[in-house]
């Protein structure tokens, strides 16, 4: 696998999709539909999905592709596949809150080894480079010309004063109860896969998720987190989190910087 080519293409497609999403986001109005699972979908989700899917199939025709917006891609799992959430944080998009993301990841043997997370409305771009190191890029985000990048690394947490990030749209009493078991210095809310990236950059130490997610929601952010030295574990037993599960459905999880002393579920 040519990881240099993989990341060049992931980055390029994420930026192009982000630009298309922003065209719709900045329009006066856009339609919102409800899918069979009661989640919302917009023209931006569909346009970004079409752009990314076509680009990935052209560039990597022999690698299985799984994407949220195409149910026919949710079949048999493979040992290697690309997984896409073309617009994670659709609720944030609809409410024009800005912290939505484009997500593309490469999974090999159950592990997201490369990924890109692009938040076009707030101008933040995170990805793993060809070696797997997580970086944040700054600049104009030209699709075919990489800007300046800075390696990112998780923090060294203080268990007496943890920085916690939680979901903006899906936080509930069970999550608050679990967070209450820690000594928390500061708590912030964020939408979409940005929560993983905040841990990857050291802006947060801990992100517990006690709610429904799918693998396309987490794979790219998880890849960035791992590339920054972070970890994602199953909530119930703190064992490593894996991908390629039946139906691509996730259980509860905890994303964290190493050094956080995890309390029992």
Q: Is 28 exposed, middle or buried (0-12, 13-18, 19+ CB in 10 A)?
A: exposed
Q: What is the pLDDT of residues 181-215, one digit of tens each?
A: 999 999 999 989 999 999 999 999 999 999 999 99
Spatial neighbors of 99 by CB under 8 A, at least 6 apart, are 89, 92, 119, 121, 122, 168, 190, 191, 192, 194
In the chain, residues under CATH classification 3.40.190.80 are 162-256
User: Among all chains, which residue has been given the structure tokens 């896409």?
Assistant: 84
| 105: Cα separation from own chain's centroid | 9
pLDDT for 244 equals: 96
What CATH number labels 162-256?
Answer: 3.40.190.80
DSSP element (H, E) containing 128: strand 124-128
pLDDT for 112 equals: 98
Q: Give me the average pLDDT of each 10-residue run along the chain (265 residues).
A: 95 98 88 74 92 98 94 84 95 90 98 98 97 96 96 98 87 91 95 96 97 96 98 97 95 98 94
Question: What tokens does 88 get?
Answer: 């994670």
CA-based Rg of the chain, rounded to a whole angstrom? Answer: 17
pLDDT for 32 equals: 78
| Assigned CATH topology for domain 3-151 | Fructose-1,6-Bisphosphatase; Chain A, domain 1 (3.30.540)
In the chain, residues under CATH classification 3.30.540.10 are 3-151
pLDDT for 36 equals: 64
pLDDT for 42 equals: 84
């Amino acid at each position: 696998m040519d990881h240099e080519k993989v990341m060049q293409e992931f980055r390029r497609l994420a930026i192009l999709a982000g630009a298309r999403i922003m065209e719709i986001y900045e329009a006066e109005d856009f339609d919102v539909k409800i899918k069979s699972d009661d989640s919302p979908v917009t023209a931006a989700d569909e346009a970004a999905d079409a752009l990314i899917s076509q680009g990935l199939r052209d560039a990597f025709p022999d690698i299985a592709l799984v994407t949220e917006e195409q149910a026919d891609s949710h079949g048999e799992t493979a040992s290697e596949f690309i997984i896409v959430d073309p617009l994670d944080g659709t609720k944030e998009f609809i409410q024009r809150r800005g912290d939505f993301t484009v997500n593309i990841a490469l999974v090999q043997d159950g592990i997201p080894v490369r990924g890109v997370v692009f938040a076009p409305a707030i101008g933040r771009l995170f990805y793993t480079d060809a070696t797997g190191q997580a970086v944040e890029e700054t600049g104009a985000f030209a699709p075919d010309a990489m800007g300046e990048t800075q390696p990112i690394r998780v923090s060294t947490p203080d268990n007496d004063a943890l920085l916690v990030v939680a979901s903006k749209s899906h936080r509930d009493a069970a999550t608050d109860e679990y967070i209450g078991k820690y000594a928390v210095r500061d708590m912030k809310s964020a939408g979409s896969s940005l929560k993983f990236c905040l841990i990857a950059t050291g802006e947060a130490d801990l992100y517990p998720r006690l709610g429904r997610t799918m693998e396309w929601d987490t794979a790219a952010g998880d890849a960035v987190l791992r590339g920054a030295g972070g970890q994602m574990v199953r909530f119930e037993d703190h064992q490593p989190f894996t991908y390629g599960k039946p139906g691509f459905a996730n259980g509860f999880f905890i994303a964290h910087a190493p050094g956080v002393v995890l309390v029992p579920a």
